Amino acid sequence: MNRRAFLQASAALPLLATPSLLRAQTFTQPVRLIVPFNPGGTSDILARLVAPSLSQRIGQSVVVENRAGAGGNIGADLVAKSRPDGHALVLLDISVLATNPHLFPRLPFDSLRDLAPVQMVIYAPYILAVNNQLPVQNAAELAAYAKANPGKLNAANSGTGTLTHLVAASLANAWGGEVTHVPYRGGAPALTALVTNEANLTMAGATQSQNFVVNNQMRGIAVTGTKRLAAVPNLPTFQELGWPEPQAGTWQGVLAQGNTPPAMIARLEQEIAQVLTEPNIVRRINELGGEVRAEGAAAFRRILTQQTESYGRIIRANNIRLE
């Protein structure tokens, strides 16, 4: 691009954010908000939380659809191949998009090209928890148990290669022990396995797991993130313990088809940001153990790019492959 063309393009960019141009981006039919996992997981909870308010703001129904399968790829691919007009969106943990290119040799879409980040929704830390019958009470005892009983701990995760799997694998390496990783079809079934004593430990977003810990259905051990959770203040952070992946967690966001016009992306970005300021939604997200992270499309893209690189390194280091 020559200097003149660059300056013309740069001068046009602020127009994308002008109120008149944003209002011109109208919605002419119901919007599909795809959740590429089964009902009950964090993405599903959040989609059903924001959909009614987003519907009011855009003047069209926002219909939540669960399209589970292939580690989130089926739902993501549906949006990647949809019309680029903003009427099909996907809400998911972006670690799915960051890890799948390293796990699936022939993805039907390119997550960085065929999906356009719209708006981050929340960050929620992970809670590492164990079954109540496991004879450990704290982080030190769990690490010692894993080292003394190699391969005897069954770690339920939300699927092979998911971040819950990768972080548990990193922990096992740090403990000097071996953990048997057991994949389930999403976070909710993994939590059920822990409660019913089918599994010994699991890693899950606080949005799903916090109430189980508070209600003593499982024993919390530690949390990721920069601070302890108010609802379970006795749980130390990974950072306090010197454990790996201290900033891991569920970073949930909304994406559209990759060729969606920038003005429509800007309209959606703005509307979702406004939805996330509503006191009842902020309160509910906080109750679930998360915090609103509506930092915009550009910040979302940076995080996605960074995670795609960093989690690829973990997958290669642990030789994680889909069976």
pLDDT tens track for 9-36: 333 444 445 665 665 678 999 999 999 9
Q: Could you check whether 27-123+250-317 and 125-241 share the same CATH topology?
A: yes
Q: Work out the angle between the directed axes of helices 297-317 and 262-275 (0-180°, nearest 10).
A: 90
Indicate whether 153 pLDDT > 70: yes
Locate the domains of the chain by residue range: 27-123+250-317, 125-241
pLDDT tens track for 78-91: 999 999 999 999 99
Hey, what are 293's tokens? 């992270």
CATH class of domain segment(s) 125-241: alpha beta
pLDDT tens track for 117-142: 999 999 989 999 999 999 999 999 99
Choice between 317 and 150, residue whose per-residue pLDDT is larger: 150
State the architecture of 27-123+250-317 in CATH terms: 3-Layer(aba) Sandwich (3.40)
Indicate whether 61 pLDDT > 90: yes
User: Which of 87-91, 277-281, 317-321 shows the lowest per-residue confidence on average (mean pLDDT)?
Assistant: 317-321
Choice between 310 and 85, residue whose per-residue pLDDT is larger: 85
Please state, in angstroms and as integers, the Cα–Cα distance from residue 145 to each residue in 89, 137, 156, 215, 318, following that order: 44, 11, 17, 25, 21
Burial class (CB in 10 A: 0-12, 13-18, 19+), 83: exposed
